[in-house]
Amino acid sequence: MSKRFDNKVVVVTGGSEGIGLASAKLFAAEGAHVYVTGRRQDKLDEAVREIGHGAVGVQGDAASLADLDRLYARIGQDHGRLDVVFANAGFASSEARPLGAIGEDDFDYLFGLNVRGLLFSVQKALPLLVDGGTVVLNGSVAGSKGFPGQSLYNASKAAVRSFARSWTADLQPRGIRVNVVAPGGTDTRLMRGYLEARPGVEDMLKQMVPLGRLGEPDEIARAVLFLASPESSYIAGAELFVDGGSIAV
């Protein structure tokens, strides 16, 4: 395997499981110095062992500005620079919340992580991020759909899509590219638990996907690495759907 990220410094927020962990493992296998965050120390320690290659775990919540400061202080101390940011940390509620049932706490928690946390995860990286570096934001097909009972989540991912457009313009003088990976239904541990508790939902989801199946975390991760690598050097402000064709067809 070619090592597109040899000696590059990469941070993955929410990297202790799912798409974040799969991406961290691929970055590390391609030569990167990988830093991952997670809220639970035990899960983070387990992820670091699984990633290998000298990966570093920094416990913290992407919605906490103090935790983000601590993360970037550690990277600055170790390397003094950052080449790639994968702002992956996010939350999707397993419970439907139609408009009339949305509470203030629901809004504050979901937008606090998916929008506020993602914004500051990128903003606070800027002093370390090298000119010509790359930023990948984890979006979702939900940002382009109107899934019932999920308007908060849908809107939070639409905001992520908008950030990529605006930040591409903001960071153009430094040559920093910002793009979004937008997964469809992906067979992560959290998704599997959700589906097992709701018989019939998995079959319904598969019927919505032209390829007839859920995605695998590694399939999303490969798209993340493409957007972070020189192979996508003329792609900026874009949203790459990795969804088995569910949006396009």
The pairing of beta strand 33-38 with beta strand 239-242: unpaired
The question of whether 153 is a catalytic residue gets the answer yes
Q: Which residues, 6+ apart, have CB-to-CB distance to 164 below 8 Å?
A: 137, 139, 178, 179, 180, 237, 238, 239
**3-class DSSP string for 149-204:** CCHHHHHHHHHHHHHHHHHHHHCHHHCCEEEEEEECCECCHHHHHHHHCCCCHHHH
d(CA 26, CA 229): 12
Q: Which of 35, 72, 109, 153 is catalytic?
A: 153
The pairing of beta strand 9-12 with beta strand 129-138: unpaired
- C-alpha Rg value of the chain to the nearest Å: 17
d(CA 58, CA 38): 7
Q: CB–CB of 5/230 below 8 Å?
A: no
Catalytically active residues are: 153
